[in-house]
Amino acid sequence: MNKFKYDLAVIGLGYVGLPLAIEAANSNLKVVGYDVNDSVINNLKQSISHVEDISDDVLADSLKKDLKFTDKSDVLGESEYIVISVPTPLTDYQPDLSYVETASRSIAENLKNDQVIILESTTYPGTTLEIVQPILEKISNLKAGEDFLLGYSPERIDPGNGEWTFKNTPKIVSGINKTSLEKISKFYKSIIDEVVEVSGTREAEMVKLIENTYRQVNIAMVNELAILSNMLDIDIWEVVEAAKTKPFGFQSFRPGPGVGGHCIPIDPKYLSFKTRQIGQPVRFVELAQEINNSMPNYVVARISELMNKNEILLKNSKILILGVAYKKDIGDTRESPALDIIESLLEKSVDLSFYDPHVDELLVNKNTISKKKDLENLSAYDLILIHTPHSEFHEINFETVTSLIFDSTGSFEISNAERI
C-alpha cells in the first residue's frame, strides 16, 4: 500500500505542468497540482483553464477524477512523485533558475524518505546535479539516491499540435543513479506511450537543447538563403519545394520573419551560457541566433522597399498585420517576431493595426496596438503583412485585395503578393 496521500504532485501549472497533471489524473493516479499563483489555483478549481491546449471541458472532466489544486506547499510532503515544471526564463540574457531554486527549497522543506523528484523545466546541462540536488540535500538532511530519488526529464510540449500530444510523444527520462532511473521510468510508462531512457541527467538536459538548437540553426540557414535568393532574383520557395523531393539526406525548413515561442529562441542561449563557462563558445549556434534575430528588421526593410517601389511613403501609412502569435493556430505571443516588427514600424510612425483570431489584445513597449474586429475591407490599408499563417487566413480571397501584400511566411499562393 502506498504510504503517500498522492501519487504525483506537479509544481507549476503552466503549459507543461497542467497537461501533465491532467494526463496523470486520466491515468487513474491521485494527483495534486501546486502553484504559488492563487488566482490560477482558484480558476482551475472552477474549471477555468489558462492553458490554450487544455479546454475548460477537459479540465472539468479531469476534476471529476482524483485531481486537486492548491497553493499550499505542505502537499509536497504527501506525494510519492514530485515534478518541477516551473519557468526558466532569461533575465539580462542570463539563465534565470530562481523558480527552480524556489521550487527545490519548497520540496526540501517537506521532503521525506522514498520520494522521487523529477525536474522537467528546460535548463542547461548540470542543473539537476549542481543546483537542485544540493538544495534538496542541504535543507532536508537527506541523501539523494539513497533516502530520496532524483532525475531529469525534458518537456516536449508543442502547443497547438494535435498530432503529437503529451501522451504519444516519446519521453526522455534519466536519474542520478540506477534506482532513480528505474522508478522515474516506471512512473512515466504509466502515463505515456513510449519512454526513452538515457544514462544520466546531463545527457537528458542536453537532449532538449540539441533538439531546439538544431531547429534554430537550420531555420537560420534557410533564412540567410532566402535573403541571398532575393538579392539574386531566385524564388527560394520554389527551391525549397524542389529540394524536398530528394528522399534522403534533406529535411525541409522554411524561411520566415524570425523565431518565437518559449523554446527555439531561448534554449540555444542556455547552451551558449554553459559552453562559455568552460571557455568554449558555440560560435555556429550564436551566429544562427544573430541571423534569426535580424529577420524582423529584414521584414521591415522589405516592406519599406515594396512601398517605395509603389510610391507609398512608409511614414503615416496604414499597415495591417495578420497574425501576431509566434506560430499558427495558437494565441501565444512570447518572443514572437511580430513584436520586434511592430516596434520598428512604430518608430517609423506607421499607423498600425493587427488581426489575430487567437489574440485579444497586444501591448508593445507600453503601446496598445489597435485590433481590427474582422477581416472586412482589407483594401483600406496601404499594406497587409502576413506574419502568422493561421488556418482562418486561408479562407481569405487575397486576389481581390487591392492593398500591397507581403507574406513573410510563404504559406499563401497570392499572385499579387511578395514573399520573404
Amino acid in position 122: T
Of 179, 199, 219, which residue sits at a domain end? 199
> Rounded CA gap, 152 and 227, in Å?
40
E strand map for 155-208? 171-173, 195-197
Q: Is residue 218 part of a domain?
A: no
Q: Are 192 and 246 part of one and the same domain?
A: no
Q: Are 29 and 119 part of one and the same domain?
A: yes
Q: Is residue 229 part of a domain?
A: no
Q: Does 2 have pLDDT greater than 80?
A: no
> How confident is the model over 40-97, as pLDDT tens digits?
999 999 999 999 889 999 999 999 999 999 999 999 999 999 999 999 998 887 899 9
Q: Does 116 have pLDDT greater than 90?
A: yes
Q: Are 188 and 241 part of one and the same domain?
A: no
Contact 99, 121 (CB under 8 A): yes
Q: Is residue 230 part of a domain?
A: no
Average pLDDT over residues 322-346: 96
Q: Residue 152 — φ and ψ, nearest 5°?
A: -135, 140
Q: Does 321 have pLDDT greater than 80?
A: yes
Helix (H, G, I), strand (E, B) or coil at 27: coil
**Among 211, 216, 388, CA closest to 291:** 216
Q: At what angle do helices 56-63 and 17-26 cross, to 10 degrees?
A: 50
Q: Is residue 402 part of a domain?
A: yes
The rounded mean pLDDT for the chain is 95
- The pLDDT value recorded for residue 160 is 85
Q: Are 308 and 172 part of one and the same domain?
A: no
Q: How far is CA 274 from CA 76, 209, 245, 300, 395, in A?
A: 30, 11, 38, 33, 46
12 has catalytic annotation? no
Q: At what angle do helices 201-231 and 236-243 cross, to 10 degrees?
A: 130
Residue 385 cell numbers, joined: 503583412
Amino acid in position 3: K
Block residue for cell numbers 477581416: 375
CA dihedral 336, 337, 338, 344 (to 10 degrees): 140
Average pLDDT over residues 368-373: 94
Q: Does 361 have pLDDT greater than 80?
A: yes
Q: Does 5 have pLDDT greater than 70?
A: yes
Q: Does 16 have pLDDT greater than 80?
A: yes
Q: How far is CA 65 from CA 68, 168, 173, 273, in A?
A: 9, 21, 26, 42
Q: Residue 204 — φ and ψ, nearest 5°?
A: -65, -40
User: 329 lies in which domain range?
Assistant: 236-419
Q: Are 185 and 326 part of one and the same domain?
A: no
Query: Which position among 226, 263, 303, 319 bears the catalytic label?
Result: 263
**Percent of the chain residues past pLDDT 70, beyond the cut:** 100
**Among 387, 407, 383, CA closest to 317:** 383
Q: Are 117 and 260 part of one and the same domain?
A: no
Q: Are 92 and 137 part of one and the same domain?
A: yes
Q: Are 29 and 121 part of one and the same domain?
A: yes
Average pLDDT over residues 129-138: 98
- The pLDDT value recorded for residue 371 is 95
Domain count, the chain: 2
> How confident is the model over 246-292, as pLDDT tens digits?
999 999 999 999 999 988 888 999 999 999 889 988 899 999 999 99
> How confident is the model over 383-417, as pLDDT tens digits?
999 999 999 999 999 999 999 999 999 999 999 89
Q: For strands 94-95 and 90-91, give the pairing.
A: antiparallel
Look up the CATH number of the domain holding residue 270: 3.40.50.720
**Percent of the chain residues past pLDDT 90, beyond the cut:** 90
> How confident is the model over 182-234, as pLDDT tens digits?
999 999 999 999 999 999 999 999 999 999 999 999 999 999 999 999 999 99
Q: Are 254 and 118 part of one and the same domain?
A: no
Q: Does 1 have pLDDT greater than 80?
A: no
Q: Are 192 and 248 part of one and the same domain?
A: no
**Among 384, 339, 344, 392, CA closest to 364:** 339
Q: Are 316 and 396 part of one and the same domain?
A: yes
What stretch of H or E contains 352?
strand 351-355
Residue 381 cell numbers, joined: 490599408
Q: Are 132 and 25 part of one and the same domain?
A: yes
- The pLDDT value recorded for residue 91 is 84
- DSSP class of residue 190 equals T
Residue 393 cell numbers, joined: 487566413
Counting every residue, how long is the chain? 420
Contact 103, 11 (CB under 8 A): yes
- The pLDDT value recorded for residue 262 is 85
Q: Is residue 267 part of a domain?
A: yes
What stretch of H or E contains 59?
helix 56-63
Q: Is residue 303 part of a domain?
A: yes
